[in-house]
């Protein structure tokens, strides 16, 4: 004899309700992962707990892409929204979409940090590996760019210092040459003055019979 139909009703005990929610939620997400792997299906699961906590699961395609596909299919089947209730439902869907996008970004960030990898499928792991590889390549390109800029700045500073050093050396040589020229000129004048004979010049009155009056007599010492 088969089992009778079980009537489901709300669990009154708060602790039991929380434990059941945790178990059923894990089972639901596990079944979603299995369905995605076995049937290669795109699946998005969104669960809100009684406390308002959000739990999501998405396959290879991100949550926002799956929800966008769902909205396109809903609009193509149901046409334009006509009444306020449908508009309000659309607003709630947008709110859910935004929250799911935020959660998906947080999940992606945690995955990039190596956390909560248990929910990833093989394709998800491959996609994560590709994202990490792309990030590493971008980091290396940025590092090489900054290193090249640093080397170029150092070379410019080196060239500027060499030019300034040349200017200082040239000024030093000019000052040294001017000082040597000045010293040589002074020494030459002193030597020339020292080599000249001492001339004693006197004016005679012409008392001698042979010399006229007012004649100049010069003698060399």
Q: Enumerate the domain spans of the chain.
A: 12-61, 122-192
What CA dihedral angle connects 29, 65, 54 and 16, to 10 degrees?
A: -20
Instruction: Please determine, looking at this structure, whether the domain spanning 12-61 carries the CATH number 3.30.70.260.
Output: no
pTM tops 0.85: no
Q: What is the tens place of the pLDDT at every residue in 115-170? A: 656 766 777 778 778 888 888 888 888 889 999 999 999 999 999 999 999 999 99
**pLDDT of residue 220 exceeding 70:** no
Contact 135, 109 (CB under 8 A): no
Q: What is the DSSP string of 149-207?
A: HHHHHHHHHHHHHHHHHHHHHHHHHHHHHHHHHHHHHHHHHHHHHHHSPPEEEEE----
Q: What is the tens place of the pLDDT at every residue in 193-213? A: 555 555 454 545 545 555 554
């Amino acid at each position: 004899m088969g089992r009778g139909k079980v009537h489901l009703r709300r669990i009154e005990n708060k602790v039991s309700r929380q434990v059941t929610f945790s178990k059923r939620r894990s089972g639901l997400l596990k079944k979603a992962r299995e369905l995605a792997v076995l049937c290669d299906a795109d699946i998005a699961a969104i669960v809100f707990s009684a406390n308002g906590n959000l739990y999501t699961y998405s396959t290879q395609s991100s949550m926002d892409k799956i929800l966008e596909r769902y909205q396109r299919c809903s609009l193509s089947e149901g046409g334009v929204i006509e009444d306020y209730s449908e508009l309000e439902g659309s607003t709630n869907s947008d709110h859910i979409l935004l929250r799911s996008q935020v959660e998906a970004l947080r999940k992606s960030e945690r995955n990039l940090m190596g956390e909560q990898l248990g929910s990833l499928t093989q394709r998800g792991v491959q996609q994560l590996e590709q994202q990490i590889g792309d990030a590493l390549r971008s980091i290396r390109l940025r590092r090489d760019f900054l290193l090249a800029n640093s080397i170029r700045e150092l070379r410019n500073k080196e060239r500027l210092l060499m030019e300034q050093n040349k200017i200082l050396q040239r000024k030093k040589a000019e000052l040294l040459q001017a000082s040597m020229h000045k010293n040589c000129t002074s020494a030459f004048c002193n030597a020339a003055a020292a080599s000249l004979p001492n001339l004693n010049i006197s004016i005679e009155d012409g008392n001698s019979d042979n010399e006229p009056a007012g004649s100049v007599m010069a003698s060399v010492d």
